[in-house]
Chain A
Amino acid sequence: MTGKTVMKTSNFSLFYGSFKALHSITMDIPVNRITAIIGPSGCGKSSLLRSFNRMNDLISSMRTEGSILIDGKNVYSQDVVELRKKVGMVFQRPNPFPKSIFDNVAYGPRIHGIRDKYKLAAIVEQSIRDAALWDEVKDDLGKSAFTLSGGQQQRLCIARALAVEPEVILMDEPASALDPVATLKIEELMEKLKSKYTIVVVTHNMQQAARVSDYTAFLLTDSERSGNLIEFGPTTEMFTNPSDTRTEDYICGRFG
């Protein structure tokens, strides 16, 4: 892979107790690009995504081998709050806090110590603008986030992630709970966001991966049910001329 990378995963394995969920994953996440992780259910793609900002830490039997570096520092040997400031996350279902639209977006900056109300207002506006939601909510910032539609709530969650100025945004099936129009809005938004951020997205929708991503990683379980990285490369190549027959069979829908 050419160009700058923001995260480097080297021989990374993830265990839940005695079960090895990921086996020796090595891949570099290129900066200001969208990287899609695809693969059949249970192949470890969400586990890999969650490893990037240590969302798996809550599972007590979890342990890792190998390393994931962000800006040269191992994610597992740095302060998790600082890590999650650098690596934000958007989930499958929109999960706004039971607060106003404004407070949802201001939540992260407040945690990181920003108290100045003018500064907070500026951050909130910029984040909501970047999430392509400003024109729809600018007059209703005090209203509950739950008054928004599903697609708007998801963009609010993206704005909330942007408010702490992350380097990387992880998206776990960000459009799977949305209708086609809201899905397209999210996809368009991802394309715009990549000029400022690096995005890693897990998706079951292969056409979505083909549409939005610059690079694609294909994961598949081996005989031990551990997720292996089968192929990783430019999306256009993966979807026109993959080098591994297992990738070809999967993306052509012959299994999975």
Chain B
Amino acid sequence: MVRETYEAEMNDLREELLRLSRMAENALCESVRILAERLFKEGEELIISDEKINLQCHSIEEQCLNIIATQQPVAGDLRFLLATMQIAMELERIADYAKGIAVINSRIPSGSHIKPLIDIPRMQKKAGEMLKLSIDAFLQRDVAAAEKLPAMDVEIDLLYEQVYRELVTHVMQNPERIADAMLLTYAAHNLERVGDRVVNICERVVYLCTGKVVDMS
């Protein structure tokens, strides 16, 4: 016997979580493009569209609650629902970081940055890839894949330290642009936090597959 309605609801939830992760990943990618290319109009659009991501997150939470209330899931299914709710929140926060980068862009006066952006786009690329792989690991219940990802977070942390050092050096050379440099540091910090959020997602993958709560940070 297969509980068809239940299975359909669970499959639908997987699709919706995947959709939310793509929305967050796109927002992140777009935010760094906006920052690098100084796109103010697109920045405003990204800030407004963050509301759609919030709504998607709330909708997933509601779907989880409905399934718990009406289908009484247990064991792996229950862990999947709890983990999905937590991951949805992580994704919503990741999108907030992207929105934050667009806000930072709006605060830096138009014109070229204090230095060419090289490592910040690298951080975004790595964080985006990490995010995609973590969601794949979750949906495929692949613990081994999830366990590899925190190493990528270390690479993001190293890039962040490099961005910070370089900006400090540039500020010493151009003290009048200290505010711009600080804002770029905040942008890099946002990307560094994305890596941490993805590590949280990896911890949820381990929880889903083994029932154990681990600290991978």
Contact = CB atoms under 8 A, between A and B. Distances in A.
A78 interface: no
Given A240-B211, A241-B211, A252 B76 contact: yes
A256 B74 contact: no
Contacts of B74: 206, 210, 239-240, 251-252
A251 B1 contact: no
Contacts of A251: 74-75
Contact of B73 (A241, A247, A252): A252
Interface string A202-245: 00001100100000000000000000000000000011111000
B75 A240 contact: yes
B75 A253 contact: no
B2 interface: yes
A99 B55 CA distance: 64
B129 to A, nearest CB: 31
Nearest to A207: B72
B45 interface: no
B78 interface: yes
A188 B6 CA distance: 30
Contacts of B79: 240-241
Given A240-B211, A241-B211, A248 B3 contact: no
A253 B211 contact: no
B2 A254 contact: yes
Given A240-B211, A241-B211, A253 B76 contact: no
Contacts of A252: 73-77
A118 interface: no
13 contacts: A206-B74, A239-B74, A240-B75, A241-B76, A241-B210, A248-B76, A251-B74, A251-B75, A252-B75, A254-B1, A254-B3, A255-B1, A256-B1
Given A240-B74, A240-B75, A240-B79, 17 more contacts: A206-B72, A238-B75, A239-B74, A239-B78, A240-B78, A240-B211, A241-B75, A241-B211, A247-B75, A251-B75, A252-B73, A253-B1, A253-B3, A254-B1, A254-B2, A254-B3, A255-B1
